């Protein structure tokens, strides 16, 4: 009688948990980002193991066997989709140049001083900087112009400003139009033209999901047009591998450097959670490279003043066979 008494409340508790998780997992299965709140929840897909496991425990206590099967299916799908996404093959041909690439969201310029110190310490060849407003831009010019004489920028206040710094000569391009600055350039790397594109689409805020999807689509269109040329696309994508709009970019043939180095689930946002409780963070900052590049190492750096971790990637440019 006691077990029977708890069966109905157990079902009432477990069923909503399973239903909520199933909606998000169903969108992942259908390869779509859905509508709010699904895009926001997809960023933290591994988190959904917690409510699914809780529901499983309740279903077992209540001896609700339909719920147990439901939970097992949902947990199995979550485990399946936590596997890395995207190509991981190595390029052929001889190595042409080794590059060090740094990407950092400095959160309205608040982490500018920390970024300057990091750049001086790590000495990257290319630096992709997001949310670098006017004060940040001026500080970078004063502190780093001697070491990085080549730059391409979109000036703006708040989160709109973006800067691309390079040790290599740059030829500016139009970049990609967006709510926030996404400058582009062509770098001359030992005689090889390498297309550079900074990425910073809108985040998938409620009411802004269509803008987020459209701007990620523009990045995807750019990537599709660069499939046969050396390309580096880096920045704060405001999307993880669990978002269909981001996977569309990887489907063009670009490779995620973190994926290539076995760090595809290392979180970059929010920075404090990513440091202390990695399971509660998500990787939305990426360095994507074309098939011309091999990635040797990805490091995640903590900067003071920003809610994002910076990415420092060691890559090698190869001559296609």
Query: What is the C-alpha to C-alpha distance for residues 230 and 302, in angstroms, rounded to an integer?
Result: 29
Q: Which of 48, 81, 114 is the last residue of a domain?
A: 81
Across 42-58, average pLDDT:
94
Residues 123, 52 share a domain: no
Domain extent, residue 219, equals 95-318
Buried b (16+ CB within 10 A) or exposed e, 36-70: eebbebbbbbbbbbebbeebbebbeebebeebbeb
The larger pLDDT score, comparing residue 225 to residue 184, is at 184
pLDDT value at residue 320: 77
Would you say residue 90 lies in a domain?
no
pLDDT value at residue 150: 98
pLDDT at 279 over 70: no
pLDDT at 221 over 50: yes
pTM of the model: 0.95
Query: What is the C-alpha to C-alpha distance for residues 304 and 259, in angstroms, rounded to an integer?
Result: 26
pLDDT value at residue 280: 75
Residues 26, 157 share a domain: no
pLDDT value at residue 1: 43
The model's confidence at residue 199, banded by pLDDT at 50, 70 and 90, is very high
Would you say residue 86 lies in a domain?
no
Residues 100, 75 share a domain: no
pLDDT tens for each residue of 74-132: 999 999 999 999 988 888 789 999 999 999 999 999 999 999 999 999 999 999 999 99
Q: Among 77, 122, 119, 127, which residue's Cα sits nearest to residue 101? A: 127
- What is the total count of domains within the chain? 2
């Amino acid at each position: 009688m006691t077990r029977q008494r708890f069966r109905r409340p157990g079902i009432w508790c477990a069923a909503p948990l399973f239903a909520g998780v199933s909606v998000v997992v169903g969108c992942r299965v259908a390869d779509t980002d859905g509508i709010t709140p699904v895009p926001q929840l997809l960023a933290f897909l591994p988190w959904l193991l917690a409510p699914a496991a809780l529901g499983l425990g309740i279903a077992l206590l209540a001896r609700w066997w339909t719920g147990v099967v439901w939970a097992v299916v949902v947990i199995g799908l979550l485990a399946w989709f936590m596997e890395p996404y995207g190509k991981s093959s190595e390029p052929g041909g001889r190595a042409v140049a080794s590059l060090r690439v740094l990407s950092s969201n400095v959160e309205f310029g608040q982490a500018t001083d920390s970024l300057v110190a990091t750049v001086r310490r790590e000495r990257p060849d290319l630096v992709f900087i997001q949310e670098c407003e006017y004060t940040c831009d001026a500080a970078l010019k004063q502190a780093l112009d001697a070491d990085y004489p080549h730059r391409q920028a979109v000036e703006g206040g708040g989160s709109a400003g973006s800067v691309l710094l390079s040790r290599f000569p740059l030829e500016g391009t139009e970049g990609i139009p967006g709510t926030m600055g996404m400058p582009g350039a062509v770098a001359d790397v030992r005689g090889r033209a390498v297309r550079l594109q900074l990425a910073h689409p809108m985040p998938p805020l409620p009411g802004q999901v269509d803008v987020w999807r459209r701007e990620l689509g523009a990045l995807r269109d750019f990537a599709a047009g660069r499939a046969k040329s050396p390309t580096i696309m880096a920045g704060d994508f405001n999307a993880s591998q669990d978002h269909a709009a981001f996977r569309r970019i990887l489907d063009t043939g670009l490779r995620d450097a973190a994926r290539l180095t076995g760090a595809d689930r290392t979180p970059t946002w929010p920075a404090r959670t990513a440091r202390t409780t990695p399971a509660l963070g998500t990787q939305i900052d990426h360095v994507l490279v074309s098939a011309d590049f091999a990635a040797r190492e990805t490091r995640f750096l903590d900067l003071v003043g920003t809610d994002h971790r910076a990415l420092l990637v060691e890559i090698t440019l190869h001559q296609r066979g």
